[in-house]
Amino acid sequence: MEYQDIAQINMSFSSHLAQTSPYPLGLEIVEAEGCYLYDKSGKRYLDLISGLAVSNVGHCHPEVVSAIKAQADRFLHLIPYGEISQAPQNLLAEKLATILPHSLNSSYFVNSGTEANEAALKLAKRATGRHEVVAIKGSYHGATHGSLSVTGNETKKRAFRPFVPGSSFIELNNLEQLELINERTAAVIIEPIMGDAGVRIPDESYIKALRKRCDETGTLLIFDEIQTGFGRTGKMFAFEHFNVVPDILTIAKAFGGGMPIGAFVSSIENMSQLTHSPMLGHITTFGGNPVCCAAALANINVLLREPWIEDVDKKGKRFKERLDHKAVVEFRQIGLMMAVELASEAQVSRVIQSLLEKGVIGFYFLSCRNAFRLAPPLCITLDQIDFACDCIAEALDALD
Ligand code: PMP
Mean pLDDT by 10 residues, the chain (400 residues): 55 81 86 97 97 97 98 96 93 98 98 98 98 98 98 94 97 98 98 97 98 98 98 98 98 98 98 95 96 98 98 98 98 98 97 97 93 98 98 95
Q: Tell me, what's the pLDDT at 3?
A: 47
Q: Is 252 in the pocket of ligand 1 (CB under 6 A)?
A: yes
Q: What angle do CA 384, 361, 194 make, to 5 degrees?
A: 100
pTM for this predicted structure: 0.96
Is the Cβ–Cβ distance between 355 and 49 less than 8 Å?
no
Query: Which of 121, 225, 239, 253 has most ligand 1 atoms within 8 Å of CB, for mutation?
Result: 253
Count of other CB atoms within 10 angstroms of residue 348: 23
Query: Which of 50, 114, 172 has most ligand 1 atoms within 8 Å of CB, for mutation?
Result: 114
Q: Tell me, what's the pLDDT at 22?
A: 81
DSSP for residue 144: S
Q: Tell me, what's the pLDDT at 76?
A: 98
Whole-Å CA distances, 262 to 75, 286, 293: 20, 11, 10
Contacts of 205 (CB under 8 A, 6+ apart): 175
Alpha helices (H) in 75-187, listed in sequence order: 87-99, 113-128, 145-149, 154-157
For the chain, give every residue range classified as CATH 3.90.1150.10: 6-57+307-397
Residue nearest to atom 10 of ligand 1 (CA): 141
Tell me which amino acid residue 22 is: P
Spatial CA neighbour of 206 closest among 225, 193, 218: 193
Atom of ligand 1 nearest to the CA of 52: 8
**What phi, psi does 373 have (nearest 5°)?**
-100, 145
**Which segments within the chain are labelled E, that is strand?**
29-33, 36-39, 44-47, 106-110, 132-136, 167-170, 185-190, 220-224, 248-251, 262-266, 330-334, 337-341, 360-361, 363-364, 371-374
Task: Provide the residue count of the chain.
Answer: 400
User: What is the second-level CATH architecture of the domain 62-305?
Assistant: 3-Layer(aba) Sandwich (3.40)
For the chain, give every residue range classified as CATH 3.40.640.10: 62-305
Query: Which of 52, 140, 189 has most ligand 1 atoms within 8 Å of CB, for mutation?
Result: 140
Q: What homologous superfamily does CATH list for 6-57+307-397?
A: Aspartate Aminotransferase, domain 1 (3.90.1150.10)
